[in-house]
A and B are shown apart, each in its own frame.
Chain A
């Protein structure tokens, strides 16, 4: 049984924002795949505002070379969307691996971000695409980089009165891009490791490398020093070995030594080797 709450169904963005500002303890719901589980476990809200049908949150637009993805778009839609496959292959792949078909038909990208799990599959791809979240309240509108929105595992800087309207990403063309993950099972499993990558090479050199690692540290992160090391470097085993050593060191620096690292770090090393060698 779910706790008592009143539910309202927003038809427009304005309606959702106005309810967010006037109601006492509201919570946004879209797919419900995380929130319904939490409410069932006892989490209480006075009101639940359903935004799954708000047209503005279901659209994808391209402006000034940036792609804006509506927050209520489902994983199923993103994983098969032509513009996403073309501009952000890692995101399409990651969305296609979330949960199960039912979860992908229900769960949304906005929900995945607002839940801010360290193992959220959509986050590493969004990081390599320099994602910026558009957060709106009745009075304000701000654009915040994804790195700054997630402040701790399952904690974001999104205000209670704010609605995550869309996610803006930088398309990457001409990159070898993908998403690799390790989980206990092939499907319906939480990622134990997730690596998003986009690599550009020319005449035996790395001209650009973008990497993001999920499920290893409290928040998925981009090892920027490793990216800088590789950018412009000649592609050879020595540089790849050094890059991976630096990435593993950075993880230990962020999290200290964790019991799971006995397994995770050697596996991550293997994934990074494959990804960088290409």
Chain B
């Protein structure tokens, strides 16, 4: 067992983890964050995506011990003020959510993109979500939602 300390969604967190435990397992089983999901378990589908220092990582392929000292964000961070983030509003408005399984990962990749690039074009958006699979919407609505949210976030600045 190892004790790891990290910032989770803005709050300092300390937990004990097994040496062979994944970050995905630790978040779900020890911290109750079930928005982070195991889809394929081999880093192809993106439902386990978390932000490590604001960059998307697959938590299913990340040893929990690697989170030590880092900033980890899950989709809960986006609405931690009690209000939905413009990205979340835009996903709802554009019908970018159907079964919802991919949504947390998509939102985190979109959020990470907007941090680096406030005015993404269609190519930037496609690239940003290219490590996440959606088997319902066909991506068009998701891309549209991210584009719309970027516009709203720009106005808010």
Contacts and interface: CB of A to CB of B under 8 A. Distances in A.
Given A103-B43, A188-B131, A50 B63 contact: yes
Interface stretch (B51-59, B73-81, B87-95): B51-59
Interface stretch (A1-9, A62-70, A119-127, A236-244): A1-9
Given A101-B56, A102-B43, A32 B128 contact: no
Interface string B29-68: 0000000000001111010010010011110111101101
Interface string B113-148: 000000000000001101110000000000000000
A99 B22 contact: no
Contacts of B41: 40
A31 B43 CA distance: 12
Q: Interface size bucket, A side?
A: 20 to 34
B92 to A, nearest CB: 24
B130 A40 contact: no
A135 to B, nearest CB: 24
A251 interface: no
A27 to B, nearest CB: 12
Contacts of B55: 76, 105
Contacts of B3: none
Contacts of B65: 7, 9, 50
A48 B63 contact: yes
A187 B58 contact: no
A50 B63 CA distance: 9
A29 interface: yes
A55 to B, nearest CB: 14
Nearest to B46: A102
A102 B63 contact: no
B44 A32 contact: no
A81 to B, nearest CB: 15
Contacts of A100: 46, 130-132
Contact-size category for B? 20 to 34
Contacts of B156: none
B19 A105 contact: no
Contacts of A37: 42-43, 61
A187 B130 contact: yes
A33 B109 contact: no
A202 B129 CA distance: 43
B62 A5 contact: no
Interface in A27-54: 29, 31-33, 36-37, 40, 48, 50, 52
B130 A101 contact: yes
A34 to B, nearest CB: 9
Contacts of A106: 57-58, 61-62
B72 to A, nearest CB: 13
A105 B61 contact: no
Nearest to B17: A7
A103 B19 contact: no
A32 B63 contact: yes
A182 B153 CA distance: 37
A187 B123 CA distance: 12
Given A7-B65, A37-B61, 7 more contacts: A32-B62, A32-B63, A33-B58, A40-B42, A102-B57, A105-B55, A188-B44
Interface of A: 2-7, 9, 29, 31-33, 36-37, 40, 48, 50, 52, 76, 99-103, 105-106, 186-188
Interface of B: 2, 19-22, 41-44, 46, 49, 52, 55-58, 60-63, 65-66, 68, 109, 127-128, 130-132
17 contacts: A4-B20, A32-B63, A33-B58, A33-B61, A36-B43, A50-B66, A52-B66, A101-B109, A101-B128, A101-B131, A102-B131, A103-B43, A103-B131, A105-B52, A106-B57, A106-B61, A187-B131
